[in-house]
Amino acid sequence: MITLFPAGDSAMLIKAGNDISPETNYLVRQLLFALLKSSTPGIIEIVPAYNELMVYYDPTVINYKEVSGTIHDAEKQLSDVEIPAGRLLKIPVCYEDEYGPDLPFVASAVNLSIDEIVKSHTSQNYLVYMLGFAPGFPYLGGMDKRIACERKETPRIRIPAGSVGIAGEQTGIYSLDSPGGWQIIGWTPIPLFSPLAKNPFLLQQGDRIKFVAVSKDEILSVKNKIETGNYQLHIEMI
Amino acid sequence: MTVRKVKILKSGMLTSVQDSGRIGFQSSGMPVGGAMDNLSLRLANIVLGNTADAACLEVTLAGPEILFEKQTHFCICGAEMQAKLNDTPIENGKAIWAKKNDILKMSFASKGCRAYIAFSGGINVKPIMGSRSTFLAGKIGGFKGRQLKTGDVLTLGQITGKPMQKNLHDDLLNSIFSNKPIKILPGPEIKSFASDAIKKLLSGTFTLSPDSNRMGYRLTGEKISTKTNKKGIVSSPVPMGCIQIPPDGQPLLLMADRQTTGGYPRIAVAATIDLPRLAQIKPGDQLCFEEISLDEAQKFLQEREKIIREMIRNQ
């Protein structure tokens, strides 16, 4: 059962559940596609998150009662909605030396060897629960709690795009150069955000990611191939 | 067909190309951005007969100096910055004819904080993801992804309409300067706050901190805390005008370049009708809030929209 809460006069928040789970997140996606299918005039944009969606609308076209009606109608159609097949993207990451500057710290903090951390980090299929914080930035779920590590006490001024990090029980990839406090354990040259491209964003909600450990030489070769337009990312439909 | 250009002789404090925002990519984490005061941007375009999505210059606190390399109409709306065309004072909200080599000079904002300069045909920069807005933090869009500098030359777009014959309604033009309380509605986490915390928000006076920008405003005043002292919520989407309470208890009011999602409890959301007024508040100014109902908030917008559409129709 979903609940609605007005978030001001031009947005309606839908709460699909109270927990963060793949099931609730799937319900969020079903609601998203049901609402997109309704293509109701006056609905401007729908933004899905972990367990909630925000429906942005133009109250000079459609009022909150009508928006609520559209949402409840969409809820009744969930079983008829087709959800695009999920994708599994294999992201090459170099965890070596300067590419993973905080690995030694994380290793001592969680009392595991560097190899064990890399093995754990590359063994999961992470779910992209949502995108937010920065363009193309994925909130990933499914990290092994054994490698959870608090953020750095003093954030770095600049973390390069492509840095793979750990913050508490979360793992993620920086999509833009930005300041940040995540423990950096690796780097990938795969761009998550290419503003000039036809499809600017690599990831979407519902995707799964697997990190693949590669050597320094290989990661530079991948970088070169990306720069010359000769790289094909491994994507499986699941 | 001649290419019409304007040259920036002085940049002003923060001048950037903005339109009505980058819509449709929030689900990928892309901020909407666009004009902080969308009403003034829209009015300046209406005065010139531009399309609604034409890009303008947003100028902040201290205005620029601009050389017209070709003749064109232009219009300023929003903050009053003692604008002069070759030393002759000009009024906001009017279509002004500039000849080749004329110079527009704007100085400090005497009223409001952000002015919008529209040119006939808009500013012709390449749209990125459907918008010409500059997203400063991401260095994307607008003119080279950045604020304008002395010496920059902007190309204007193709003229699509004629300037409006009649004057803008004064009350539309000046509604942004009212100092009445900002109207707010309860936010999704209102129940995380005790009634005295909500009372503090509604009865207190807050000051806009100098540490405020296009992403959001920090408000200083009485400390507001949640019932449980819970530090955050699960990341969730946030509209413009959303008032979040971070652990230090000082409200954060989200503006045009806000991130798409936030993690602090949302105590309230400002009414859309008052967002242009928020865009015109300067650091150091004081503000207070009053609650209105959702019905009233939507009625305000519907009434204003009716006035604007009638004005366009009857010009």
Identify residue B55 by its one-letter amino acid code.
Answer: A
Here the contacts of B162-165 (C-beta below 8 Å, separation 24 or greater) are B162/B49, B163/B47, B163/B48, B163/B49, B163/B73, B163/B75, B163/B95, B163/B120, B164/B46, B164/B47, B164/B48, B164/B49, B164/B95, B164/B315, B165/B315
DSSP, collapsed to helix, strand or coil, labels residue A90 as strand
The CA distance from B188 to the nearest CA of chain A, in Å, is 6
User: CA B100 to CA A207: how far, in whole Å?
Assistant: 55
Cβ atoms within 10 Å of B311's Cβ, excluding its own: 17
Full residue range of the structural domain in which residue A65 is found:
3-80
Q: What is the pLDDT of residue A157?
A: 87
A133 shares a domain with A54? no
A92 shares a domain with A76? no
Substitution target from B236, B274, B295, B307 for chain A, most A beta carbons within 10 A:
B236
A184 shares a domain with A137? yes
Yes or no: say if A9 and A57 are a contact pair by the CB < 8 Å rule.
Answer: no
A57 shares a domain with A14? yes
Instruction: State whether B261 and A176 contact (CB < 8 Å).
Output: no
Task: Say whether pLDDT at B22 is over 80.
Answer: yes
User: CA A215 to CA A217: how far, in whole Å?
Assistant: 5
Closest to B136 (Cα-Cα) out of B16, B37, B26, B22: B16
Considering only the beta carbons, identify the residue of A20, A59, A132 that sits closest to B29: A132
Yes or no: say if B184 and B215 are a contact pair by the CB < 8 Å rule.
Answer: no
Chain B residues in contact with A205 (beta carbon < 8 A): 27
Q: What is the pLDDT of residue B231?
A: 62
Tokens 């978030």 belong to A7
Domain boundary among A41, A62, A80: A80
**Which tokens belong to B310?**
């009638």
DSSP, collapsed to helix, strand or coil, labels residue A237 as strand
A114 shares a domain with A43? no
Helix extents (H) in chain B: 38-48, 170-174, 195-203, 275-279, 294-313
Q: What is the pLDDT of residue A180?
A: 85
Here the contacts of A96-104 (C-beta below 8 Å, separation 24 or greater) are A96/A215, A96/A216, A97/A216, A99/A186, A99/A187, A99/A216, A99/A219, A100/A184, A100/A185, A100/A186, A100/A187, A101/A184, A102/A152, A102/A165, A102/A183, A102/A184, A102/A185, A103/A185, A103/A186
Closest to A165 (Cα-Cα) out of B227, B293, A179, A125: A179
Rounded to an integer, what is the distance from CA A162 to the centroid of its chain? Answer: 13
**Which tokens belong to A182?**
């995540």
User: CA A62 to CA A56: how far, in whole Å?
Assistant: 11
Return the percentage of chain B with pLDDT > 70, whole number: 99
Confidence class of residue B169 from pLDDT cuts 50, 70 and 90? confident
DSSP annotation of B196: H
Q: In chain A, how many domains are there?
A: 2
- For B179-311, CATH gives 2.40.100.10
Q: Averaged over B218-242, what is the pLDDT?
A: 87
Task: Say whether pLDDT at B234 is over 90.
Answer: no
Chain B residues in contact with A68 (beta carbon < 8 A): none
Give the mean pLDDT of chain B.
95
Closest to B198 (Cα-Cα) out of B218, B227, B220, B237: B227
ipTM: 0.96
Alpha-carbon torsion (B19, A36, B184, B263), positive or negative = negative
Closest to B194 (Cα-Cα) out of B223, B220, B154: B223
Q: Counting beta carbons within 10 angstroms of the beta carbon of residue A210, is it exposed (0 to 12), middle (13 to 18) or buried (19 or more)?
A: middle
Confidence class of residue B159 from pLDDT cuts 50, 70 and 90? very high
Task: Say whether pLDDT at B39 is over 90.
Answer: yes
Instruction: State whether B28 and A64 contact (CB < 8 Å).
Output: no
Q: What is the pLDDT of residue B289?
A: 98
A98 shares a domain with A39? no
- Residues paired with A211 in a beta bridge: A91
Q: Averaged over B242-263, what is the pLDDT?
A: 94
Task: Say whether pLDDT at B229 is over 70.
Answer: no
- Which pairing describes strands B182-186 and B289-291: parallel, antiparallel, or unpaired? parallel
A141 shares a domain with A59? no
Q: What is the CATH number for A147?
A: 2.40.100.10
A160 shares a domain with A53? no
Domain boundaries along the sequence of chain B: 5-176, 179-311
Q: What is the pLDDT of residue B226?
A: 83
List CB contacts of A105: < 8 A, sequence separation 6 or more: A149, A183
Q: Angle at the Cα of B53 (from B301 to A11), degrees rounded to 5?
A: 40
Identify residues of A whose CB sits under 8 angstroms from chain B CBs. Answer: 5-11, 13, 20, 32, 44-54, 56, 59-60, 63-64, 130-137, 139, 175-176, 195-196, 200-201, 204-205
Longest dimension (CA), chain B: 66
Cβ atoms within 10 Å of B146's Cβ, excluding its own: 15
Q: Counting beta carbons within 10 angstroms of the beta carbon of residue B154, is it exposed (0 to 12), middle (13 to 18) or buried (19 or more)?
A: buried
Q: What is the pLDDT of residue B233?
A: 78
Task: Say whether pLDDT at B208 is over 80.
Answer: yes
Domain boundary among A23, A58, A80: A80
Q: What is the CATH number for A28?
A: 3.30.1360.40
A123 shares a domain with A29? no
Q: Averaged over B159-173, what is the pLDDT?
A: 90
Domain boundary among A31, A47, A80: A80
User: CA A132 to CA B261: how far, in whole Å?
Assistant: 6
The CA distance from A54 to the nearest CA of chain B, in Å, is 6
List CB contacts of A214: < 8 A, sequence separation 6 or more: A92, A93, A94, A222
Exposure string of B80-102, with b = 16+ CB inside 10 Å and e = fewer, is: bbebebeeeebebbbbbebeeeb
Task: Say whether pLDDT at B1 is over 70.
Answer: no
A93 shares a domain with A75? no
Backbone phi, psi, residue A16, to 5°: -90, -15
- A to B CB pairs, distance under 8 Å: 134
Confidence class of residue B92 from pLDDT cuts 50, 70 and 90? very high
The CA distance from B301 to the nearest CA of chain A, in Å, is 6
Task: Say whether pLDDT at B71 is over 70.
Answer: yes
Longest dimension (CA), chain A: 59
Confidence class of residue B230 from pLDDT cuts 50, 70 and 90? low
Cβ atoms within 10 Å of A71's Cβ, excluding its own: 22
Q: Averaged over A186-202, what is the pLDDT?
A: 95
Yes or no: say if A93 and A172 are a contact pair by the CB < 8 Å rule.
Answer: no
